Structure 1
Amino acid sequence: MFTGIIEDLGIVKDLVKKGENINITVESNITNELKIDQSVAHNGVCLTVVNIKDKEYTVTAIKETLDKSNIGALKIKDLVNLERAMKLGDRLDGHIVQGHVDQIATCINVEEHDGSWQYAFKYDASLGNITIEKGSITINGVSLTVVGSKKDTFSVAIIPYTYKHTNFNSLKIGSIVNLEFDVIGKYVSKLQEIKL
């Protein structure tokens, strides 16, 4: 379980394909605090640490993960948003995030305002996911509030701290991002389907 509050920006140092899987090696300031078998969210995708060496650690992404997220499109030197699993008893500063990406979206607009940025995204609404105005959404692992919601598009506003400390500063029109929709909203939506 995660909160969507990014701890560090990791740098992809190596990508090794093994069968249908990819081993991803990341350099991070939090590596010395990690241990083998620990869960770390990478752009919102929960992956398990399988190796640690000096300032770098390695995780494995399987085909299911590669098919549903932007992890398979990573390149060496790319920046990834990192968050370790939350500790029971800590403050929940973001919202409840599982680290299970629901689908991807495409950035369709970026507007710089005086001291903030607004990003718009388009996603495939036929998969049954929805956003609501002022609801929670996780984009590349970042817990955010929806400020504009339509059937297959939504917007979020980014403050300077988030812009500087996440990979939002590298997103542009056409960038592909990972989405995890609000878990409570997903259960409510599923219950509504069952009642119909």
Structure 2
Amino acid sequence: MFSGIVEEVGRVSSIRQMPKGKRLSVNASLSKLVGLGDSIAVNGACMTVVEKSDNEVFFDVSFESLNKTNLGYLRVGDYVNLERALLVGGRLDGHMVLGHVDTTAVVESLVRQGDFFLFRIKINDYIYSHSVEKGSISINGVSLTIADLKRDYLEIAVIPFTFENTNLKYIKSGDVVNIEVDIIGKYVKKFLESSQQGLTEDFLKLHGFV
């Protein structure tokens, strides 16, 4: 599990084809802090460290991850957001991010507003139905707050610190980003859909909410 607080922006140093996948090498100083088998969120996608050196970490990216995330679009020289897995008892400064990317989305526009940046991202029905305005969402592994939510797009207002310390500063209109919706929203939606009784006053009383 992750928090969506990016530790480092690494740079892709090599990409090697594998049967049904790719081996990805990322140049990053946190290579000194991880061991083989550790989990690292790469643009928000949970990856396992399969090899390391003093300044590089290596990940085997399966065909499933290549199809469901933007890791398949990466080229040598691209920048990726990196975050090590949370420690039990550690601070949760962002929100609960599993590292299981739900889908990808396309950035429609990026507008600078003073020192801040407004991203508009085109979304599908899945993202819309699992999101709420002012709720949390993970974009390329960054924990962000939805400033505005419409049926076909959402907007994110990004502070200067987050912009400068993640790969968001390299994003352009038309780029593909990884999206993980809030896990709490997933559970609530599934719970409501699976309840034949539905959300009524009697149901809430029965479960101690009223």
Q: Does the aligned pair in 1 maintain the 2:3–2:94 contact within 8 Å?
A: yes
1:65-124 deviation digits (Å, cap 9, x = unpaired): 111100011000000000000111111000000000000000011110111001010122
Secondary structure of the corresponding residue to residue 194 of structure 2: helix
What RMSD, in angstroms, separates the aligned Cα atoms of the two structures? 1.2
Structure 2 residues not aligned, in runs of 5+: 197-210
1:194 deviates by 1.5
In 2: Cα distance, 1:79 partner to 1:67 partner: 19
Q: Which has the larger radius of gyration?
A: 2
In 2: Cα distance, 1:126 partner to 1:137 partner: 13
Question: Residue 60 of structure 1 aligns to which amino acid in structure 2?
Answer: D
Aligned to 1:169: 169
Q: Tell me the TM-score normalised to structure 2 length.
A: 0.90
Structure 1 residues not aligned, in runs of 5+: none
Percent of aligned pairs with the same residue?
39
In 2: Cα distance, 1:106 partner to 1:34 partner: 32
Aligned to 1:185: 185
1:54 deviates by 2.1
In 2: Cα distance, 1:94 partner to 1:126 partner: 22
1:44 deviates by 0.1
Q: Does the aligned pair in 1 maintain the 2:128–2:151 contact within 8 Å?
A: no
Q: Name whichever of 42-51 and 54-63 sits farther off.
A: 54-63
In 2: Cα distance, 1:129 partner to 1:138 partner: 15
Matches within 5 A, 1:105-184: 105-125=105-125, 129-184=129-184
Q: How many residues are treated as equivalent by the alignment?
A: 196
Aligned to 2:57: 57
Aligned to 1:30: 30
1:118-167 deviation digits (Å, cap 9, x = unpaired): 10101221577432111000000000000000123111111111111101
Q: Does the aligned pair in 2 maintain the 1:9–1:28 contact within 8 Å?
A: yes
Q: Tell me the TM-score normalised to structure 1 length.
A: 0.97
1:5-35 deviation digits (Å, cap 9, x = unpaired): 0000001000011111110001101111110
Aligned to 2:94: 94
In 1: Cα distance, 2:75 partner to 2:149 partner: 31
Matches within 5 A, 1:11-30: 11-30=11-30
Q: Name whichever of 124-133 and 163-172 sits farther off.
A: 124-133
Q: Does the aligned pair in 1 maintain the 2:128–2:152 contact within 8 Å?
A: no
